[in-house]
Amino acid sequence: MNVLLSIEPRFAEAILSGTKKWEFRSKKFRIRPKKVYIYCTKPVQRVVGFFEAGKIISGPPSEIWEICGAESGISYDEFICRFKHEKIYAIEILKVRKFVSPIELNKLGISTPPQSFTYFDTERKI
């Protein structure tokens, strides 16, 4: 199973350039994804690449920051402001692939961008 994450352009670029090694979410995946596709939000509004998910760790924001903060691609103040939940999830970013040409969601069989993430299964060559 694959997952599609909605990610702001500056964070999507940091993932694709290799400077961001962890992606954070406040909701747990029900199914562990094989590949995590990156839907770059406005103004791009395209799928720009994907990465393989490494380990997924969880805990209070302060603990996650201690483990992942140096490779988070986000400042401490912004991290704390965004993640006020009791428990958050950090997804390790491995083997990133950037698409030469960003693709539209419908090529993945998805009609609307997810609020946070959505699952999908595809055998199509992208």
pLDDT at 124: 54
Structural domains present in the chain:
2-55+91-120 (2.30.130.30)
User: Does 19 score more than 70 pLDDT?
Assistant: yes
Which two tokens mark 111?
């009609």
User: Above pLDDT 90, what percent of the chain?
Assistant: 84
Strand partners for 96:
51
**121 falls in which pLDDT band (50, 70, 90)?**
confident
pLDDT at 85: 83
Which two tokens mark 100?
């030469």
User: Does 126 score more than 80 pLDDT?
Assistant: no
pLDDT at 109: 85
pLDDT at 5: 97
Lowest mean pLDDT among 9-13, 20-24, 105-109, 111-115: 105-109
For 62-107, what is each residue's pLDDT tens digit?
Answer: 999 999 999 999 999 999 999 988 999 999 999 999 999 999 998 8
Strand partners for 99:
none
Q: Are 20 and 71 in contact (CB under 8 A)?
A: yes
Classify burial at 35, counting beta carbons within 10 Å of its beta carbon; exposed 0-12, middle 13-18, buried 19 or more: middle
**108 falls in which pLDDT band (50, 70, 90)?**
confident
Half-sphere exposure of 72 (CA within 13 A, CB side): 21
pLDDT at 123: 58
Helix, strand, or coil here: 81? helix
Side chain identity, residue 107: K
To the nearest 10°, the Cα dihedral for 96, 100, 33, 59?
50
